[in-house]
Amino acid sequence: MIRFRDASVVYDGGVRALSNLDLEIGDGEFVVVVGLSGAGKSTLIRAVNGLVPLTSGHLEVNGREVPGLDRTGLRELRSEVGMVFQGFNLVDRTSVLNNVLMGRLHRVPTWRTLLGRYPADDVALAAAALDRVGILDKARVRANHLSGGQRQRVGIARALAQEPSIILADEPVASLDPPTSHVVMRYLKQISNELGITTVVNLHFLDLATAYADRIIGLRAGELVFDGPGEDCDAAVFESIYGRSLTADDTMDKQAAM
Amino acid sequence: MTDAAVDRLPPRPAPGRFTVLSGLGALVLTVLTARAVDFDPTGLVTDLTRPNSVVEGLLDPDWSQIWSRRSRRAFIETLQLAVLGTAGGSIVALPLALYATDYGAPNRVVQVVLRLINSVIRSLPDLLWALLFVSAVGIGALSGLLALFFFSIAVVSKLTADTLDGIDRGPIEAGVAAGASNTSMLRTAVLPQILPSYVSFVLYGFEINLRASAVIGLVGAGGIGERIQFFQGRGEWDKLWGLVLLFFLVVFLVERISIVLRRRLV
Ligand SMILES: Nc1ncnc2c1ncn2[C@@H]1O[C@H](COP(=O)(O)OP(=O)(O)O)[C@@H](O)[C@H]1O
Ligand SMILES: [Mg+2]
């Protein structure tokens, strides 16, 4: 359960990236956040695992009040929240398996990570995560030898290896081509459904959002301007989120056709 | 081909004011210092042409030092000093550099303290370290070892710190977001990125230390330098040069090997 109440984030320099946000995301939901670049999508996602602190207001995640957490509390929270990044954030110079094992760091004793000797059940979890995204055979390959789509699947496996109750994905397909984007979105959706993991995905393309989201959240200048199921997200709603009518730039299929 | 492109090249820009001024400044400074120390080129020529036993020794070096047990022991001591000093210093340099970065420091206080330690260690040259430890723990190989240990920390931690500034921050973010401890994050997200460079810095540190070990021996810190000083004291220049040339050969070989290895790493 993620619950924002009157939550605001103001960055140094005065940018109000989240403005008095009230939002509740229930367990197991698959939510897509859309909005223009700069609307505050990344800020919203990063607030959930405490990477960005709230300036004011409340945020409760899995029963914890995030703004009050100390360093240990934050690590505990983050251990329950997997994160998938636009730039994949893999370590190129090491194996796919080692990358996925980073998802186990919250549980593995530090001396073991120093020696690179992970417990067998953690390795088993990492392998299972790789298997779920269909690239177990690449486990011993160096991460930089993979294609973009494969790299993002490693990113998902790393998040999955945490055994999280929440997955946050910040524009996970923004650096991928359309077919690969669909593959990655399908994995995210499938994992959320089968394992009951609450998933929040930031997306730039509206057609991709409506194709996968159970629920769409529209942000504009840090404010919530739409919250509803994908089928309600028509042209009028679109204008309210983007402040203009739909263009080819806003849908992946049309942009790919250009 | 009358209208050749080369004729239509835009004119070469005039040298900037900064270039001209700093060039002039350097010239003036050189002349002034030469006058201040009474530099006299004719004196240099007379000194060099005067019969000189040191130069004669160089022209006819005594290679027999290869067979001398004491010289060989000094050689081995020098190698041991360089290996141990480099290994120990490099091991300490790694955490010193890692925990002083803005992403790796556990807190501000640790970061400030480590950066202070780093800059103090880096500001002292090898010979000064040797003098320091010769006065503190006395003449002998232990002083040399300590000197090279600290000197290695300086060299390796400086180079490693520069590499750490330029790494990909993405994996760090992933580690932090996964709830990793600071040290686990550094080990898994940062170390793989810098490891090849670090190993090459360690090799480079070894090269430098091998050379430094000869110099620090001159102030009594053990190794081949002490033996060189011994021949110097007795005026046995041919033996001294034989030893120096042998040392040069060893350093040259080690450097070649090290350069080949380093090239393969990065
Ligand atoms: N670290 C930061 N410091 C200052 N301003 C920031 C920072 N991160 C984001 N912003 C600003 O906050 C606003 C929202 O940013 P962001 O959450 O990244 O939006 P989005 O992900 O929707 O593009 C933007 O105006 C952005 O420039
Ligand atoms: Mg963003």
Question: Which residues of chain A have a CB within 8 Å of the CB of B174?
Answer: 83, 85, 89-90, 102, 155, 158
Same domain, A108 and A76: no
- Quick check: B193 contacting A, CB < 8 Å? yes
Task: Take residue B45 and report the two structure tokens written for it.
Answer: 């020529």
pLDDT tens across the length of chain B (266 residues): 567 888 888 888 888 888 899 999 999 998 888 888 888 777 777 777 777 777 777 777 877 777 788 888 888 889 999 999 999 999 999 999 999 999 999 999 999 999 999 999 999 888 888 888 888 888 888 888 999 999 999 999 999 999 999 999 999 999 999 999 999 999 999 999 999 999 999 999 999 999 888 888 888 888 888 888 888 888 888 888 888 888 888 889 988 998 898 888 87
**Predicted local confidence at residue B2, as pLDDT:** 62
Distance CA A169, CA A42 (A): 9
**Predicted local confidence at residue B237, as pLDDT:** 86
Atom of ligand 1 nearest to the CA of A171: 21
DSSP-based three-state secondary structure for A135? coil
Same domain, A189 and A239: yes
DSSP-based three-state secondary structure for A194? helix
Same domain, A56 and A177: yes
Contact check, Cβ <8 Å, B174/A85 = yes
Judge whether A203 lies within some domain. Answer: yes
Judge whether A85 lies within some domain. Answer: no
- Protein residues whose CB sits closer than 6 Å to any atom of ligand 1: A 11-13, 15, 17, 35, 37-43
Same domain, A116 and A237: no
- Quick check: B170 contacting A, CB < 8 Å? yes
Which of A81, A92, A102 is facing B175, going by the closest CB pair? A102
Which of B174, B175, B187 is facing A114, going by the closest CB pair? B187
pLDDT digits (tens, 9 = 90+) for A221-252: 999 999 999 888 877 788 888 877 777 677 77
Question: Which residues of chain B have a CB within 8 Å of the CB of A155?
Answer: 174
DSSP-based three-state secondary structure for A251? coil
Domain final position from A110, A139, A163: A163
Least confident of A22-26, A95-99, B26-30: B26-30
**Predicted local confidence at residue B74, as pLDDT:** 87
Same domain, A184 and A245: yes
**For chain A, how many structural domains are there in total?**
2
Residue A253 has pLDDT above 80, yes or no: no
- A-side interface with B, Cβ within 8 Å? 49, 51, 74-79, 81-83, 85, 87-94, 98, 101-103, 105-106, 108, 110, 113-114, 116, 155, 158-159, 162
Contact check, Cβ <8 Å, B178/A51 = no
C-alpha distance from B175 to closest chain A C-alpha (Å): 7
Whole-structure pTM over 0.90, yes or no?
A: no
The residue nearest atom 4 of ligand 1, judged by CA position, is A11
Atom of ligand 1 nearest to the CA of A39: 22
Question: Which residues of chain A have a CB within 8 Å of the CB of B179?
Answer: 74-79, 105-106, 162
Domain final position from A147, A163, A179: A163
**Between 3.30.1780.10, 1.10.3720.10, 3.60.15.10, 1.25.40.10, what CATH number should domain B64-265 receive?**
1.10.3720.10
Same domain, A16 and A100: no
The closest ligand to the CA of A37 turns out to be: 1
**Predicted local confidence at residue B223, as pLDDT:** 84
Give, for A61, the enclosing helix (H) or strand (E). Answer: strand A56-61
The residue segments making up the domain with residue A100 are 92-163
Do A122 and A101 touch, CB atoms closer than 8 A?
A: yes
Judge whether A97 lies within some domain. Answer: yes
Domain final position from A114, A135, A163: A163
Q: Which amino acid would we find at residue A97?
A: L
Contact check, Cβ <8 Å, A108/B184 = yes
Q: How far does the centroid of ligand 2 lie from the alpha carbon of residue B2, in Å? A: 58
Same domain, A181 and A250: yes
Do A212 and A34 touch, CB atoms closer than 8 A?
A: no
Same domain, A50 and A6: yes
Question: What's the CATH code of the domain at A22?
Answer: 3.40.50.300
Same domain, A210 and A134: no
**Predicted local confidence at residue A256, as pLDDT:** 60
C-alpha distance from B196 to closest chain A C-alpha (Å): 10
A86 against B37, higher pLDDT:
A86
Contact check, Cβ <8 Å, A105/B168 = no
DSSP states of chain B as a string? Answer: --S-GGGGSPPPPPPPHHHHHHHHHHHHHHHHHHHHTT--HHHHHHHHHS--HHHHHHHS--GGGGG-HHHHHHHHHHHHHHHHHHHHHHHHHHHHHHTTSTTT-SSHHHHHHHHHHHHHHHHS-HHHHHHHHHHHH-SSHHHHHHHHHHHHHHHHHHHHHHHHHTS-SHHHHHHHHTT--HHHHIIIIIHHHHHHHHHHHHHHHHHHHHHHHHHHHTTT-SSHHHHHHHHHHHT-HHHHHHHHHHHHHHHHHHHHHHHHHHHHH-
Question: Which residues of chain A have a CB within 8 Å of the CB of B198?
Answer: none
The closest ligand to the CA of A11 turns out to be: 1
Question: Which residues of chain B have a CB within 8 Å of the CB of A81?
Answer: 177
A106 against B58, higher pLDDT:
A106
pLDDT digits (tens, 9 = 90+) for A177-202: 999 999 999 999 999 999 999 999 99
Residue A45 has pLDDT above 80, yes or no: yes
**Predicted local confidence at residue A10, as pLDDT:** 97
Q: Which residue of A has its CA nearest to B169?
A: A89
- The domain limits of chain B are 64-265
Question: What is the ipTM score, two decimals?
Answer: 0.93
Do B164 and B93 touch, CB atoms closer than 8 A?
A: no
Which burial class, exposed, middle or buried, applies to A246 when counting CB atoms under 10 A from its CB (0-12, 13-18, 19+)?
middle
Same domain, A168 and A251: yes
The pLDDT of A130-147, averaged and rounded, is 96
pLDDT digits (tens, 9 = 90+) for A57-84: 999 999 999 999 999 999 999 999 999 9
Same domain, A109 and A224: no
Number of Cβ pairs < 8 A linking chain A and chain B: 88
